[in-house]
Amino acid sequence: MTVKAQMARFALVGVVNTGTYYGSYLVLLTWLPYIAAHVVAFALSMTGSFFLNSCFTYRTRPTWRKFLLFPLTNAANFVITTGGVCLLVDLAGFSSRYAPLVAAAAAIPVTFVVSRTIMLRPDSKVPAAERVS
């Protein structure tokens, strides 16, 4: 599969992931402060993103090693979006309902590069017991 095809699939997974995140965020926002709602929704969507990127984007077998490394793909995304949400809400006066969507856009290219590096890492030395199935 070409990098261009992977980018298109990554974008599609990103749309699904963003919808999952944002829907969860709005539900959680009804009883949690916006930062707590953001963190929980982010963790839920990241788990779904791992399996979608594994199976659909990169067509690679999910393993525990990749699952444990996958949060690194979102570390920059998390820092950028969390900082962005705080800046947009607290300093710029944005609505806490829309700030996460605006903040998320800047992290997309970094997330793709790191995700691709981790997900396409060779698994040849990974024992079957470590595979997530």
**CB contact set of 74 (below 8 Å; sequence gap of 6+):** 42, 46, 49, 111
What is residue 131's predicted lDDT score, i.e. its pLDDT?
53
- The structure tokens listed for 5 are 């095809």
Residue 57 confidence (pLDDT) above 90: yes
* Integer CA distances (angstroms), 116 to 38, 41, 93, in order: 25, 23, 35
Instruction: State the Cα–Cα distance between residues 42 and 82, nearest whole angstrom.
Output: 10
pLDDT tens string 7-48: 899 989 988 998 999 999 999 999 999 999 999 998 999 999
pLDDT band at 132; cut points 50, 70, 90: low
pTM, rounded to two decimals: 0.68
